[in-house]
Amino acid sequence: MKLSAGVKYFIVRAEGDSMNLAGIQDGNLLLCRFGEKGETGDRVVALLGGENVTIKEYGPRKDGVRLLLPKSTNKRHTPITPGEGDSVQGIVQEIVEPNSE
């Protein structure tokens, strides 16, 4: 794992299966770069409604807004259109699988 000087990082634990096709499994720890905006295709950590955290793929812009796209085998997960006050907190840099011991 390579960390860059001067970059702020945080760790979040993935819950659920909304990103299992992107290699993010329930229980994985994710090393994230704090405060970056991201580009299409980046896996982002977003804060929705000031309290709900979600991990999704940044989709292309639609009417000036980026969609948050699930990458899942579970079809119940649908794209999210961020609303006012929703924000990207960071970009997933690395997936850290929990120790299976």
Residues annotated as part of the active site: 18, 56
| All residues at 6 or more sequence positions from 47 whose CB lies less than 8 Å from its CB, including other chains | 53, 86, 87, 88, 89
Q: In whole angstroms, what is the distance from residue 65 CA to residue 1 CA? A: 32
Residue 47 is encoded by which pair of tokens? 């804060």
Q: In whole angstroms, what is the distance from residue 20 CA to residue 26 CA? A: 8
